[in-house]
Amino acid sequence: MRSLFLLAAILSLFTAQHAFAQSDPAAEGLEERVVSVPLPRGADIRGLVGKRVGTNPTNVALLFVGSPGILHLKEVEGKPAFDMKGNFLARARRHLADDAVMTVLVDCPTDEWNGCDATYRRSARHAEDVGALMAALAKELGPVKFTIVGTSFGTVSTANLARRLAGLAGAVHTATFAGSSKYAFETGMSGFDWGEAKVAQLFVHHQADPCNVTPYRDLKSAIGELPLITVTGAKDTQGPACEALTEHGFRGRERDVMRAIAAWIATGQVQQLGAP
């Protein structure tokens, strides 16, 4: 267990200290709110729900950010507040929301705010917790289809939820944990059998991903013939290899990647990306 905590500390893939200039959601034509769902054990699970103003999407994308995946999501003076704004999925969520797709940034349950490690993410409890959030959203929104979308350490969640969680329409894994590194081994992702998923899956990976935990070659080998969008090109990369402002976080290609994911969620079509 100690090594798993060290994983989050050593990699620090997308930490709260990653300051990143965020545009105002309202200025982007988005409306966002916090949903909090009580869990039987006394904790709660929270999500930041976002959609285009005036739209009623029938697809819900549940977003699982990278390490440590703990957003500390809450409302401050009537407005959503959370950590890890620099994470790829957090900063680019506005490009995913459209007439057909709404987004939900999923926080770890409040009793996992000091952990949320791979042991939890592989567990039946994780599936039950996310299922409770889905049930609450479905009760409010009516008939919708849920797709899980993870990035980096968040793909430990999406990989296992795709096996365990009923009621999903699909799963998208980006910058995915794979290969034979000690971190992949410790999180249960080394030698992972992706074919055991119960739903359709899509992989999105940068060909030049510099992170030693998420090498493109190992991911491509691990998934066999499952659909893969290979991303090339980048702009204004900076910071450590496994953090959010390199090719690992699709820096400079955020909009293109998100629009391709939105198309797959809405239509099932895999759109390969051309050069930037």
Options 3.30.360.10, 1.20.1260.10, 3.40.50.800, 3.40.50.1820; which CATH number does 2-267 get? 3.40.50.1820
Which is more confident, 24 or 235? Answer: 235
pLDDT given at position 190: 87
pLDDT given at position 27: 61
Q: Is the pLDDT of residue 246 over 60?
A: yes
Given the DSSP bridges, would you call strands 168-174 and 145-151 parallel, antiparallel or unpaired?
Answer: parallel
Residue 184 banded pLDDT, cuts 50, 70, 90: confident
**Both tokens assigned to 239:** 């910071």
Q: Residue 13, Cβ neighbours under 10 Å: how many? A: 31
Indicate the domain borders of the chain. Answer: 2-267
Q: What's the pLDDT tens digit per position in 23-60?
A: 567 667 889 999 999 999 999 999 999 999 999 999 99
Amino acid at 53: V
Question: Helix %, strand %, coil % for the chain, to 5?
Answer: 30, 20, 45
**Both tokens assigned to 180:** 């034979």
For the chain, the average pLDDT equals 90
Q: Is the pLDDT of residue 11 over 60?
A: no
Which is more confident, 1 or 234? Answer: 234
pLDDT given at position 134: 98
101 φ, ψ (degrees, to nearest 5): -130, 130
Residue 244 banded pLDDT, cuts 50, 70, 90: confident
Task: Give, in order, the Cα–Cα distances in Å from 226 to each of 190, 200, 203, 223, 268.
Answer: 17, 9, 8, 6, 13
Quick one: what percent of the chain has pLDDT higher than 70? 91
Q: Is the pLDDT of residue 230 over 70?
A: yes
b/e burial code for range 197-236 (CB count within 10 A of at least 16 → b) = bebbbbbbbbeebbbebbbbebbbebbeeeebbebebbee
Cβ atoms 142, 56 nearer than 8 A: no
Quote the CA–CA distance of 21 and 86 in Å, as a whole number: 8
pTM score of the predicted model: 0.91
Q: What is the mean pLDDT of residues 263-273?
A: 94
**Both tokens assigned to 249:** 């976080």
